[in-house]
A and B are shown apart, each in its own frame.
Chain A
Amino acid sequence: MIPLSHYLILSAILFSIGLYGVFTRRSAIGILLSLEIMLNAVNINFVAFAKFMAPHSLAGQIFVIFTIGVAAASTVVGLAIIVAIYHNYKTIFVDEIDVMKW
């Protein structure tokens, strides 16, 4: 039986990778992907805690299903924004999109 701590460590590693990706990717799509990784890290946490803390309740698992669904929807919106940005600026590199700057 794999203990809870291993799941949590995996989740932390994944989250850190995602965070690193968000900070370092120039491409907006890369950032989006990294965000998905972070979300999945959180999902692993959820599922692990659900399994160890309340094994007879399905609430945790079902919550994760919802999270995946919402994440998919938000990713669609994000991709749509990226397409719109590309239409306007002919680039998806976030450091070149700085019209909000002073």
Chain B
Amino acid sequence: MVNYAYLIPLFPLAAFVVNVFWGRRLKSKSAPVAILAMLGSLVISCLILKEVISGKTLEQSIEWFKVGRYSFEAGFLVDSLSAMMLCVVTLVGLLVEVYSIGYMHGDARYHLFFAYLSLFIFSMLGLVLSNNLIQTYIFWELVGVCSYLLISFWFEKKSAADAGKKAFITNRIGDAGFFLGLSTLFYYLGTANFAQISQRLAHHPEGLSQGVLALSAVLIFCGAVGKSAQFPLHVWLPDAMEGPTPVSALIHAATMVAAGVYLVARSYAVFAAGHLSLEVVSYIGIITSFMAGSIALVQTDIKRILAYSTVSQLGYMMIALGTGGYSAGVFHLMTHAFFKALLFLCAGSVIHACGVQDIRQMGGLFGKMKVTATTCLIGCLAISGVPPLSGFWSKDEILVSVYNSGNMVLYGLTLTVAFMTAFYMFRLLFLTFFGKPREKLHIHKPAPTMDWPLIILAIFSIFSGFVGSPLMGHAFSNFIYFHPEHIEPNYMVMVSSIIVGLAGITLAWVFYILSPGIPAALARNFSPVYNLLLNKYWIDEIYDRFIIRPFLRLTKFAFSFDRYLIDGAVNLTGTSCVAVSRVKGWIDKYIVDGLVNLIALMVGALGEVFRRLQTGLIQNYILLIFTGVIAIVILLRFV
């Protein structure tokens, strides 16, 4: 079965082709096409995962082309990491597509939505299966393009079109770094193949400069910073909420943002070998995590809270990877994919049902949308790290990994983020589903195709954590193995993570159920902090002031330079060319042509003279001949 791994991305690609070319005719049948393709991929992925668990891995590649001593290859790599990701991506993708049937119902570009989703999943699966950095980069960019298409799917709305552009451009900045990083590594090691890189670094580390490895690792991390929305390139993700909610669920749970973490995990050998590169990863992770978590505390848009929560959780994964918790980071990537997809789809159901996105306008929705509310509760419990749900186990492993790194400041901050996570998630839950309805909203019940994905994801959110828990002997970390990790459970860490999680939930309960006056009072008394958080640390404004506007000025200058100097030079050349041509034309017309005509005239005039000799009278000719003969005789005789 492992040999058929290449089929997995091909199914969604086929669905994309069908939906793009015949989608208009298929109309509502375009959804089953995409879903069937996804189902095929999911089945193969699961079979492959089963075989990989039993110890089978496979790498197949062919030489694509060769330049000098550098060989470029195309191939796929099926190991524990990619097999796990394949299952997560196809499962979440499938559920999101099923959900989209109801959510996108009646949209004018219904078939295109499914085409883009299929292309997106194709790119992501290709990225996961890639066995070398260059191929990864190609699919990486494809993921970027698809995210652009999907985020600005409703491009009639200016904010959506802008968000798509922002996501794409921000990602491009990171991608430039990624490309430099992979080029450096490729040049330095002579190979871009993951397995060969790991082998080289593991067995022949002598003679390799740590500095160069660190440089390439940090540059590759730039790409991950862009895709996984880490500080300072996280700004695109909250804006990307302009896209349809299923897209948010797909992009921000299982595919695009996971790509960054996946990339770091894939090229972990380079990070481990490079000097200080893991530290960079963990510091960026904690900055992102803390900042995004604190912003999420005060946001009021249901999707934006989730967006910042995603950024924060991705920071968590980065912290884990940065502190050596390879399996912990990947584990959290998996569990997060399930519960974050669940939460986004819940938010989608809520938005679909009541037509607003501001949680201050909602409230008391529990009775009206029982399935959504229950699954959302499960998602919130999972992300807050309440045992025994999946988030608890993965978060616990991350905390253990941070704790073992010995950096207590980092550990404290990580715990704080866990506390904030629990608080803002339950703030969202309480404001949306509990209390009294704050505004009269017309609720229409979500379709069953929108409920079932929620239920399935909720089941995964509850149980997917067990595979990595001590209860199952850390099966997950043994499966996703990079290097020996401390895997004995640390009960102190476990208890502290439960305490901060419950504390966050309790605080949210006190603030938003028990005495709803407190948050407003706090916002009044700490208005500088509140404003700082509400305005997202003014990062967008800072970028606008210090990067975007100077850049725009530069482009304007470049434009006027282009317009007046370059275009001017071109026009001047053109004008002078015309003038020279005029002169040349005159010369040609009057001098060259004149000479030609003169010669013709002269020939004509001579002909005019000499034609008189041709009298046509035979006797004249005879006379002439005779005269000529006489002349010749005289000449011969006397001269």
Contact = CB atoms under 8 A, between A and B. Distances in A.
A2 interface: no
A98 B617 contact: yes
Contacts of B626: 19
B617 A22 contact: no
Nearest to B618: A94
Contacts of A23: 619, 622-623
Nearest to B611: A102
B106 interface: no
Nearest to A22: B622
Nearest to B619: A23
**SS class of chain B's interface: helix, strand, loop or mixed?**
helix
B68 interface: no
A98 B623 contact: no
A98 B620 CA distance: 11
Q: From DSSP, what is the main secondary structure of chain A's interface residues?
A: loop
Interface in B163-184: none
Q: How large is the interface on B (under 10, 10 to 19, 20 to 34, 35 or more residues)?
A: 10 to 19
Contacts of A97: 616, 618
A33 to B, nearest CB: 14
Given A19-B626, A23-B623, A102 B617 contact: no
Contacts of B612: 102
B615 interface: yes
B614 interface: yes
A101 interface: yes
Interface in A28-69: 31
Interface in B600-632: 611-612, 614-619, 622-623, 626
B611 A95 contact: no
Nearest to B615: A101
Nearest to B613: A102
A19 B616 CA distance: 19
Contacts of A98: 615-617
A99 interface: yes
A89 to B, nearest CB: 13
B614 A94 contact: no
B621 to A, nearest CB: 9
B617 A94 contact: yes
Interface string A67-97: 0000000000000000000000000001101
Interface of B: 611-612, 614-619, 622-623, 626
Interface of A: 19, 22-24, 31, 94-95, 97-102
14 contacts: A22-B622, A23-B622, A94-B617, A94-B619, A95-B617, A95-B619, A97-B616, A97-B618, A98-B615, A98-B616, A98-B617, A100-B614, A102-B612, A102-B616
Given A98-B616, A101-B614, 6 more contacts: A19-B626, A24-B619, A94-B618, A94-B619, A98-B615, A99-B616
